Amino acid sequence: MKKLLLATTALTFIAGAAIAQVNNVTPTDVTPAAINISTSLIANPSPTYFTNDGMTLLAIRTGASGTTATVRTKATQVIAQGLGTIQLADQVVVIPANAFMLLGPFATGRWNDPNYNTVRVDFSTAASVMTVHVPQ
C-alpha cells in the first residue's frame, strides 16, 4: 500500500508540474525573430525568378484587381514506391483583389532550376511580391 501511495503521489506531482508549465506559456514567450522577411520587393512580377533553398515563401499582395500565380515545375514526374510514376504539373493559385497570401515552401527537387537554384512564377497581373525565408 505504501508503494502505491508513493507512486500516486509521484504521478500527481508530475501531472501538476506539466500543467504548471503549460499555464506559464504566454504570447510574450514568442520571439519576433522567427521569420526573416527580406526587403527585396519584386517590381515587375511576371515572370518572377527567386532563389530557393526549400524554406522560401513568396509574400504576395494584390491591389484593386486580383492575380493568378502559376508556379512552374521543373520536375515533370516522380516515382513513388507503391504508387508508380506520378505526373507533375504547374500549380496555379488564384489570389483575389486586395488580398495578402503566402505561397510555399517550394521543394527544391520539384521546383528549382538545377542550374540556378531558382523557381519561376508567372503572374497574370501586377502584384507586390516579396520573398520570405523561414529559418530551419
116 belongs to a structural domain: yes
Are the beta carbons of 130 and 59 closer than 8 angstroms? yes
CATH code: domain of residue 119: 2.60.120
* Residue pLDDT, tens place only, 9-60: 333 333 333 333 333 334 444 444 455 554 455 555 668 888 899 988 888 8
Residue 126 domain boundaries = 31-133
Q: How many CB atoms lie within 10 A of CB 32?
A: 5
Are the beta carbons of 136 and 55 closer than 8 angstroms? yes
Are the beta carbons of 100 and 130 closer than 8 angstroms? no
pTM, 2 dp: 0.65
Query: What's the structural domain count of the chain?
Result: 1
